[in-house]
Amino acid sequence: MAVRTLGVVMNGVTGRMGYRQHLLRSVLAIREQGGVLLPDGSRVQLDPLLVGRNEDKLAEMAKLHGLTKWTTDLDAALGDDAYPLYFDAQLTAVREKSIIKAIDAGRHIYTEKPVAESVEGALDLARRAAAAGVKNGVVHDKLYLPGLLKLKRLVDSGFFGRILSVRGEFGYWVFEGDWQPAQRPSWNYRAEDGGGITVDMFCHWNYVLENLFGGVQAVTARTATHIPARWDEQGAEYQATADDAAYAIFELTDGVIAQLNSSWCVRVHRDELVEFQVDGTHGSAVAGLHGCRVQPREVTPRPVWNPDLRETQSFRDQWQEVPDNGEFDNGFKAQWEQFVRHVVADTPHPYDFLAGVRGIRLAEAGLKSSDEGKRIVLGDVAV
Ligand SMILES: NC(=O)c1ccc[n+]([C@@H]2O[C@H](COP(=O)([O-])OP(=O)(O)OC[C@H]3O[C@@H](n4cnc5c(N)ncnc54)[C@H](O)[C@@H]3O)[C@@H](O)[C@H]2O)c1
């Protein structure tokens, strides 16, 4: 069957996410495999137009990957009808303005999270996109982690019985940047540049909780800036104005309680950088990025609290590994394919700007809860 082409303006491709996950692992991988397979058996190939602020970097990147189109002029890129899709992986603080331009140019939009810096800004984008009739989507990559796909399989099978609670640990030590370089961009630690772990991670937690266990109805959070000064990419000391840890309780539909710690100031004593334990009446599971282990109620041990005796059971060894039972593709690529099908073949895509609004709303509510020392109840959102 014929292969169609879909032009994509890719803005922010020189960044960490834009380059590795979106250009390399997604768009170039899709080009390599001959395009995105559509429901009618035909394929659509992607034609990227790289956009950024630094001409030399773009030219070098294009050359390295055999691409021929790049520009530093976003307006010109958006004015080219050969590119009906706009993608944004820029710094969060500059995203909103570019997306508005893209909507005004009648482009479909796919973006990194958060969609905008505030609920108000994100809702404005959702309303503008709806009014313009353009398709819109936001990343939801964590849902495609093999560990979470296995967890979803368990939820769908009824393995847990009634789910009671979820406890998650996310984090690792991010170096301050003085005697070892930091492994995240310095803007992450400056509130004025759109940084902060609450904004970064609660957008993810919202769709993870919503799609696996139920929508978030209320949040109680305490955020912290544990490390007040860090060193940037040039080795200059700066004040860390954004939160670098968030300790939160999320109340979900059907009474499920999720308690998630997110921190860039924690040393890892876990099997993976993120782990979720889910406890249900009929069984429990612990899922990470890749692995997932279970313990059904029939084989649950019967510990007895006695601090005078040294523990003789190895609790970890009593769990059973969930098999892969299939191949897991890169999550970022899977989402690109899903969104491209939505654009070209009108297949469903529930991760739209409104899903993005719910993500940033949870982050705002978490920050408010911490500032005011209050539990924040969330309502419905609509355009
Ligand atoms: N989905 C995920 O798991 C995930 C993980 C990390 C970051 N992100 C999101 O991806 C986006 C980019 O994050 P990153 O870690 O790749 O950041 P980064 O600093 O590595 O990249 C930022 C990009 O924005 C561009 N940019 C445009 N205007 C800019 C300006 N005025 N100042 C500075 N940079 C400007 C930079 O050139 C660069 O290409 C953020 O919105 C972040 O929230 C998502």
Query: Is residue 383 domain-resident?
Result: no
Q: What is the pLDDT of residues 208-250, one digit of tens each?
A: 999 999 999 999 999 999 999 999 999 999 999 999 999 999 9
DSSP codes joined into one string, 170-233? EE-BPP-SSSS--SS-GGGG-GGGT--HHHHHHHHHHHHHHHHT--EEEEEEEEE----EEE-T
Residues 72 and 157 in one domain: no
Residues 193 and 314 in one domain: yes
Give the span between the Cα atoms of 201 and 196, in whole angstroms: 9
Residues 52 and 172 in one domain: no
Q: What is the pLDDT of residues 131-165, one digit of tens each?
A: 999 999 999 999 999 999 999 999 999 999 999 99
Query: Is residue 177 domain-resident?
Result: yes
3-state secondary structure of 334: helix
Parent domain of 48: 3-138+331-352
Q: What is the pLDDT of residues 251-302, one digit of tens each?
A: 999 999 999 999 999 999 999 999 999 999 999 999 999 999 999 999 999 9
Q: What is the CATH number of the domain that holds 205?
A: 3.30.360.10
Beta strands in the chain (DSSP E): 3-11, 36-37, 43-51, 70-71, 85-88, 108-111, 136-138, 163-171, 216-224, 229-231, 237-239, 245-252, 257-263, 274-280, 283-287, 292-296, 320-321, 376-377
Axis crossing angle, helix 146-157 with helix 197-212, rounded to the nearest 10 = 30
Average pLDDT along the chain: 97
| Residue pair 119/357 in contact by the 8 Å Cβ criterion | yes
- Which ligand 1 atom is nearest residue 17's CA? 16
128 C-alpha to ligand 1 centroid (Å): 23
Query: Is residue 371 domain-resident?
Result: no
Residues 262 and 275 in one domain: yes
Give the span between the Cα atoms of 160 and 171, in whole angstroms: 26
The pLDDT of residue 325 is 96
Query: Is residue 373 domain-resident?
Result: no
360 C-alpha to ligand 1 centroid (Å): 16
Q: What is the CATH number of the domain that holds 8?
A: 3.40.50.720
Query: Is residue 126 domain-resident?
Result: yes
Query: Is residue 46 domain-resident?
Result: yes
Average pLDDT over residues 165-190: 97
Give the span between the Cα atoms of 335 and 353, in whole angstroms: 15
| Residue pair 268/175 in contact by the 8 Å Cβ criterion | no
Average pLDDT over residues 39-52: 97
Calculate the alpha carbon distances from 248 to 210, 310, 326, 362 in Å: 16, 33, 34, 11
50 C-alpha to ligand 1 centroid (Å): 15
The pLDDT of residue 254 is 93
Residue whose pair of structure tokens reads 């003789």 in the numeric block: 312
The pLDDT of residue 3 is 84
Strand partners, 87: 10, 110
Q: What is the pLDDT of residues 1-37, one digit of tens each?
A: 678 999 999 999 999 999 999 999 999 999 999 999 9
84 lines ligand 1 (CB under 6 A): no
The pLDDT of residue 2 is 74
15 lines ligand 1 (CB under 6 A): yes
Structure tokens at 187: 């803007």
Residues 189 and 318 in one domain: yes
Please tell me the total count of domains within the chain: 2
Residues 148 and 133 in one domain: no
Residue closest via CA to ligand 1's atom 6 equals 17
Q: What is the pLDDT of residues 309-329, one digit of tens each?
A: 999 999 999 999 999 999 999
Residues 184 and 307 in one domain: yes
The pLDDT of residue 1 is 66
| Residue pair 357/381 in contact by the 8 Å Cβ criterion | yes
180 C-alpha to ligand 1 centroid (Å): 22
Residue closest via CA to ligand 1's atom 7 equals 17
Residues 127 and 12 in one domain: yes
Residues 12 and 52 in one domain: yes
- Which ligand 1 atom is nearest residue 52's CA? 37
Residues 8 and 98 in one domain: yes
Check pLDDT > 70 for residue 340: yes
Query: Is residue 374 domain-resident?
Result: no
Residues 94 and 231 in one domain: no
Query: Is residue 28 domain-resident?
Result: yes
Number of H helices, E strands in the chain: 10, 18
Residues 57 and 33 in one domain: yes
